[in-house]
């Protein structure tokens, strides 16, 4: 039995959820998201609780049960509270700033790296060495953070580069004489 799947998803105030077959639509203060779930699960809405159950007793249905419940939970949480990722930039001369709708990064290359913010994602730079990514879609927020980090991942000798806030970089010892 799935420990995650058996828990119902509570629908907070201000969020409306529509079920149309296996398509779940959630609408809240941060926007509208929808997800089409696999046919191996059955979704039902009863007194502000969304229940996800396996359609049959097959192994495939039981595997999809917990994942489908997590996706529905992420929809509801995304439209009500949103998701946030923070990046830290470390290195001499490394910095970030917003120009219009684009994030401009100076990461030690001979050129600036410009990253246009996708629809539904809000990027801000409270400091020159900090980037905050916010949005309703958890997958999209994580993907944008990973793409920005991929321009200059942290290196193990001095720790220079773009890293997630709170990420621990395993440091290596340099050359010895």
High-pLDDT (> 90) share of the chain, %: 89
Predicted TM-score of the model (pTM): 0.89
pLDDT band at 5 (very low <50, low <70, confident <90, very high): confident
pLDDT of 98 above 90: yes
Separation in Å, CA 13 to CA 27, 66, 96: 11, 24, 37
pLDDT band at 73 (very low <50, low <70, confident <90, very high): very high
Q: How far is CA 139 from the centre of its chain?
A: 4
Domains and CATH numbers, the chain: 9-80 (3.90.930.12), 83-164 (3.90.930.12)
pLDDT of 61 above 80: yes
């Amino acid at each position: 039995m799935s420990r995650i799947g058996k828990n119902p998803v509570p629908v907070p105030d201000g969020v409306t959820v529509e079920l149309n077959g296996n398509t779940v639509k959630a609408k809240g203060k941060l926007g509208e998201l929808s997800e089409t779930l696999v046919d191996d699960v059955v979704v039902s809405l009863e007194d502000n609780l969304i229940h996800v159950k396996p359609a049959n007793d097959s192994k495939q249905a039981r595997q999809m049960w917990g994942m489908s419940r997590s996706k529905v939970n992420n929809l509801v949480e995304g439209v009500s509270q949103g998701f946030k990722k923070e990046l830290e930039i470390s290195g001499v001369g490394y910095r970030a700033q917003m120009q219009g709708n684009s994030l401009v990064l100076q990461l030690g290359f001979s050129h600036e790296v410009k990253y246009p913010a996708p629809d539904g994602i809000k990027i801000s730079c409270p400091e020159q060495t900090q980037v905050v990514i916010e949005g309703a879609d958890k997958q999209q927020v994580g993907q944008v953070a990973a793409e920005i980090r991929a321009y200059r991942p942290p290196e193990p000798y001095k720790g220079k580069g773009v890293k997630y806030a709170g990420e621990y970089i395993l440091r290596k010892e340099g050359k010895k004489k």
